[in-house]
Amino acid sequence: MQRKLPTLLIAIAFTLLLSTIAQAATLRTGSSGPAVVTLQSELNTAGYSVGATDGVFGPLTAQGVVRFQAANGLTSDGIVGPATEGALQHQTKTDAIIATAKAYIGTPYFWGGTTPAGFDCSGFVQYVFVQNGITLKRVSIDQSKNGNEVTYSNLQPGDLMFFSMSENSIVSHVGIYIGGGQFIGSENSGVRIVTLDQYWVVRFVVARSVY
């Protein structure tokens, strides 16, 4: 019994430590500090206005969390655990990627181009993503092998869309889905937003989520 006691005490201490870490990682009404400031900033950026980023998890922050959870199929309890925080970080990343892409609307097309002086389709996508900390292959056919496959019906903003311009299922074009049945990419006329009409639907090959 005496030999087992230290082991038992260690196990209890470890359990309490894990519980403390879990509680520290969870934000809820009454929480405060830098983590709440970050949360409030993420919610405001994602369009779930919670007012001032004052670091106090009050009613407005709780309401913003509930709205975000409901919109993303999460348990709408107003408590920010790993699932909610992960979804918020993904949303923040998506917003940043789309904002970066839109900043280059009007940039001319240039075959082989990989800079704001001129982009081809894959050069544009690669540039936008690397500006947001994500490294992709250089050409579209290789980019189409990155990440996880997404079906057309499950497209989410930030996903990469790949097309076969020859309609032979060989990837030769790529753009970034931005929601609302549209993608942004570098076309012959330069970087622009494109509506997914029948022309593009019949040329669609695959979509990938890369973050």
Q: What is the pTM of this model?
A: 0.83
Q: Model confidence over 42-100: pLDDT tens digits?
A: 999 999 999 999 999 999 999 999 999 999 999 999 999 999 999 999 999 999 999 99
Q: Are residues 80 and 111 in the same domain?
A: no
Q: Model confidence over 153-182: pLDDT tens digits?
A: 999 999 999 999 999 999 999 999 999 999
Q: Are residues 83 and 127 in the same domain?
A: no
CATH code, 34: 1.10.101.10
CA pseudo-torsion sign 68, 69, 70, 72: positive
Cα angle value 42/46/52 (rounded, 5°): 55
Q: Model confidence over 115-146: pLDDT tens digits?
A: 999 999 999 999 999 999 999 999 999 999 99
Q: Are residues 135 and 70 in the same domain?
A: no
